[in-house]
Amino acid sequence: MQGEFLNPNSIIDLSDISDKSVVCDFGCGSNGWTIPLAKKVPYGMVYAVDVSEEYLSLLDTNLKRLGINNVKLLLSDLEKGVKISSKEIDLLVIANVLFQVDDISVVLEEGKRLLKDNGQMIVVDWKDNNPFGLKDQLVDFDRLKDCILKIGFKIEKEFDSGSYHRCLIIRKL
């Protein structure tokens, strides 16, 4: 029996965003969350940020094919800063990214800078029972939660999403 996989829409629905919100997808890859986010904010804006030109190009192709035009693609290394104004974002998504970065706190601090006061962040990453060979790179969720609280966020929800992911919904204080 195969495990249930991550469903971005069900998690996005737990956020406070409206159809006019400004959202950001850190480490967007070639789709995953950006397109579901763009559909939830048709009168808003989605910043899709990734370090890979190839992934951004694939995402751009998908966006054009679907006629989605409320997404701005940004080539950027999350640990070196993102070219978005401070306090511009209502919701920030960091999905399956933190296991790849050198310093989680730097990425969370950058997210805090971008979020509006009282803005939300969705953090999703792999659980240790995933079958994808990521055992050496897993995020320690207890350490992650400590870091989140020290940086100045409140943890609003914590839950498993599908069979292989853990999710936190946090709010900037």
Residues 6+ apart with CB under 8 A from 28: 34, 48, 49, 50, 55, 56, 59
Average pLDDT of 94-108?
93
The answer on 44 and 33 residing in a single domain is yes
- pLDDT tens by residue, 26-82: 999 987 899 999 999 999 999 999 999 999 999 999 999 999 999 999 999 999 999
Task: Please report whether residue 68 resides in a domain.
Answer: yes
Residue 92: strand pairing partners: 24, 121
Number of domains in the chain: 2
The answer on 29 and 113 residing in a single domain is yes
User: 2 pLDDT band (50/70/90 cuts)?
Assistant: very low
* Contact indicator for 24, 91 with CB cutoff of 8 Å: yes
The answer on 124 and 173 residing in a single domain is yes
* Contact indicator for 21, 93 with CB cutoff of 8 Å: no
Residue 67: strand pairing partners: none
Query: Would you state the pLDDT for residue 126?
Result: 86
Instruction: Determine the structural domain holding residue 53 and report its residue range.
Output: 17-90+109-118
The answer on 114 and 128 residing in a single domain is no
Task: Please report whether residue 167 resides in a domain.
Answer: yes
Residues 6+ apart with CB under 8 A from 78: 26, 27, 49, 51, 97, 101, 106, 107, 110
User: 1 pLDDT band (50/70/90 cuts)?
Assistant: very low
Task: Please report whether residue 96 resides in a domain.
Answer: no
User: What is the chain's length?
Assistant: 173
- pLDDT tens by residue, 138-163: 888 999 999 999 999 999 999 998 88
The answer on 124 and 60 residing in a single domain is no
Give the amino acid at 106: V
The answer on 137 and 114 residing in a single domain is no
The CATH number that applies at residue 77 is 3.40.50.150
* Contact indicator for 26, 97 with CB cutoff of 8 Å: yes
The answer on 82 and 61 residing in a single domain is yes
Task: Please report whether residue 49 resides in a domain.
Answer: yes
The answer on 128 and 56 residing in a single domain is no
Task: Please report whether residue 10 resides in a domain.
Answer: no
